[in-house]
Amino acid sequence: MELAFKPLHPHFVAEAGEIDLRETHDDRMLERIRDGMDRFAVLVFRKQRFSNEEQIAFATRLDGELHRKTGISVLQKSRFGDEALTDVSNVGADGGILEPESRRRLYGLANRLWHTDASFQDPRGRYSMLAALVVPPVSADTEFADMRTAWDTLPEATRASLEGLQVHHSIAYSRQTLGFEFSEGENDRLRGAVHPLVLSNPRNGRRSLYLASHASRILGRPIPDGRLLIRDLMEHATRPELVYRHAWSTGDFVIWDNRATMHRARPFEDTVHRREMRRVTSLDTGDPARVAQSA
């Protein structure tokens, strides 16, 4: 069986044809999905019905090792019993919608900042795979920005000046910009990580800007200089023509490449309407096909 990809945006993002990812074990089909990721950086799959275990198993088949040192795990243990599965819902352990002052809610609000997943870790995140289980009756969309076209559309002299720069990413930093405070003990566990500003996909050589609201400074530069450069580049990367907005339906499963995109949640009345989403993120270690085979 072939898998078709229908582009949803002029530069990136495609919708995959009908497939049940729970049943996708075939190496050829997994490789076809990886090729689609290399081409489009964001793939939308419809009508998926994963259990938690099936979502984790699929993510491992597709891309190998999973990210388990999530920022939220520093605040509280996952209610699913595996830190690989991040609860991106506005629902607490008791099943009710989170209170306005709930710490988990306030922490999660930072998803409304442009970011990549797990850039504050080393190894960093590669693919994120987000399943929509309960979608509210109002729009509660997610936006994606194309960081490859962002790189391609910078003037050549700017690109040359950015080569070789290293950026520090910290989840404590992005939360603090919203006034969310971590305790000293939490801060100790959230040191952050350093990554190149410019990444290149080893499978196809495509280069991208690697940035996020977690990006706190550029190594070797005075902090305000670095922060201003980061802001300018993020502004460049999130111009409307580089942004795709996803309106979720129940059963949607979206995979994005964190090396090649940024994303952000859009605001909605999250203390009124229930929205349940679950995410697994893989780590950027080795070639996906080889890593997945040995996992």
**Residue 283 is a binding residue for ligand OGA (CB under 6 A):** no
CB atoms within 10 A of CB 66: 20
The yes or no reply on residue 87 touching Mn ion (CB under 5 A) is no
Of ligand OGA, Mn ion, none, which one sits near residue 277, judging by CB under 5 to 8 A according to partner kind? ligand OGA
Binding of ligand OGA by 88 (CB under 6 A): yes
Q: Contact between 242 and ligand OGA (CB under 6 A)?
A: no
Q: Report the nearest approach of ligand OGA to the CB of residue 140 (Å).
A: 7
Distance (Å) of CA 116 to CA 50, 170, 188, 231, 283: 23, 11, 21, 15, 12
Q: Does 146 bind Mn ion (CB under 5 A)?
A: no
Distances (CA, A) of 143 to 94, 103, 160, 256: 29, 24, 29, 11
Q: Are 174 and 113 contacting, i.e. CB atoms less than 8 angstroms apart? A: yes
Q: Give whichever of 62 and 229 is closer to ligand OGA, judged by the CB atom.
A: 62
Q: Which is nearer to ligand OGA, 71 or 226 (CB)?
A: 71
By beta-carbon proximity to ligand OGA, the closer residue of 152 and 276 is 276
Q: Residue 22, exposed/middle/buried by CB under 10 A (0-12, 13-18, 19+)?
A: middle
Exactly one of 65, 87, 117, 257 binds Mn ion (CB under 5 A); that residue is: 117
Helix (H, G, I), strand (E, B) or coil at 294: helix
To ligand OGA, the closest distance from the beta carbon of 85 in angstroms equals 11
Q: What phi, psi does 220 have (nearest 5°)? A: 80, 5
Q: How far is the CB of 115 from Mn ion (least distance, A)?
A: 6
Binding to ligand OGA by residue 128, rule CB under 6 A? yes
Between 33 and 262, CB nearer to ligand OGA: 262
Q: Is residue 111 part of the contact set for ligand OGA (CB under 6 A)?
A: yes
How many CB atoms are located within 10 Å of the residue 48 CB? 20
85 binds, among ligand OGA, Mn ion, none (CB under 5 to 8 A by kind): none
> 144: which 2 tokens?
């994606």
